Amino acid sequence: MRILLIGDIFGEYGRKAIENNLPKLIQEHGINFVVANGENIAHGKGITFKYYQWLLEQHVNVVTLGNHSFSNRTIVEHMDEAKNLIRPLNYGLGTPGKGYVTINYNGKKITVFQVMGRTFDNNSLDCPFRAAEKVLNEVKSDLYICDFHGEATSEKIAFGLYFDGKIDIIVGTHTHVQTNDARVLRNGTMYMTDLGMTGPLEGVIGVEPEDIFHRLLTGMPVKHTPMTKGKIQFCGLLVEINETTHKVTKYDIINIVE
Ligand SMILES: [Fe+2]
Ligand SMILES: [Fe+2]
């Protein structure tokens, strides 16, 4: 089967990148299952229920979030209703929503979950390693896919190596910059440190450069205007997995600029 993982979809340009590329990719590559990070889909910060539903209409199967899970607070009341929307598992007890979802596909159970890193930020989170271990022990599944949302490349690589052979696909999100390190690890896990961003190419990780220049040069707080000029990029990873052996047979980094 062919699985497409899509990096952080950012604002209007991110949605355009999905419209322009996703149907074509699904058709050309015979993609069976799509996981997309939607933490920036609503004006660069957070997600609305309407955009979650829109992603399902674009044939996305599971939507993951991140540190911006609740940046658009309207989503809080829809977290239970949005069956295929997940936020990091390792948020503290009492956080709305869930950290994993199991989907039946072609007689197989696919469990998609998300954890968030703690290096540089997010000190109030539970341990992502122990949170992942708990899901692997408690949720029996044929395939496991994990979105590791985090800033530090080292933490993501350590997570990949620690769960090599236990999680079928581990891909990073959050930095909005695609890494060139996709590889199959020694025990069979498909690993990539960051999928990159699906959205405006010419901003500062999605934002109008002028806003960021002002903050960096003066230290003043600024509002982050999503960039809606220039080139648009679509970033992700396409993975082909043998349905019987669960071995990765092929993979391609997707980086489309238009
Ligand atoms: Fe993030
Ligand atoms: Fe993001």
Q: What CATH number should be reported for the domain holding residue 60?
A: 3.60.21.10
How many angstroms is it from 16 CA to the middle of ligand 1?
A: 20
**Single-letter residue type at 228:** T
Q: Could you tell me the residue range of the domain that residue 31 belongs to?
A: 2-257
Q: Report the pLDDT value the prediction gives residue 121, as an integer from 0 to 100.
A: 74
Query: For the segment 60-99, what is each residue's pLDDT rounded down to a tens digit?
Result: 999 999 999 999 999 999 999 999 999 999 999 999 999 9
| Separation of CA 193 and ligand 1 centre (Å) | 14
> Which residues neighbour ligand 1 (ion) by CB within 5 Å?
66-67, 174
pLDDT tens for residues 135-187?
999 999 999 999 999 999 999 999 999 999 999 999 999 999 999 999 999 99
> C-alpha distances in angstroms, 204 versus 197, 211, 253, 257?
11, 9, 22, 16
Per-residue pLDDT at 122? 73
Rounded mean pLDDT, 203-212: 97
pLDDT at 248: 98
Ligand 2 centroid, distance to 107 Cα (angstroms)? 33
pLDDT above 80 for 1: yes
Query: What's the whole-number mean pLDDT along residues 94-110?
Result: 96
Question: How many Å apart are CA 84 and CA 258, to the nearest integer?
Answer: 30
Q: Contact 143/241 with Cβ under 8 angstroms?
A: yes
Name the pTM for this structure.
Answer: 0.98
Query: How far is ligand 1, taken at its centre, from the CA of residue 89, in Å?
Result: 14
Is the Cα torsion angle 117, 57, 105, 76 positive or negative in sign?
positive
Run of H or E residues at 232: strand 232-241
**What's the confidence (pLDDT) of residue 123?**
74
pLDDT in tens, 29-57: 999 999 999 999 999 999 999 999 999 99
Domains in the chain: how many in total?
Answer: 1
Around ion ligand 2, which residues have CB less than 5 A away? Answer: 8, 39-40
Confidence band of 112 (pLDDT split at 50, 70, 90):
very high
Q: Are 7 and 197 in contact (CB under 8 A)?
A: yes
- Expressed in angstroms and rounded, the spacing between residue 244 Cα and the centre of ligand 2 is 34
Q: What is the mean pLDDT of the chain?
A: 97
Catalytic residues: 68
- 97 closest CA partner among 82, 114, 119: 82
- Whole-angstrom Cα distance, residue 59 to residue 49? 16
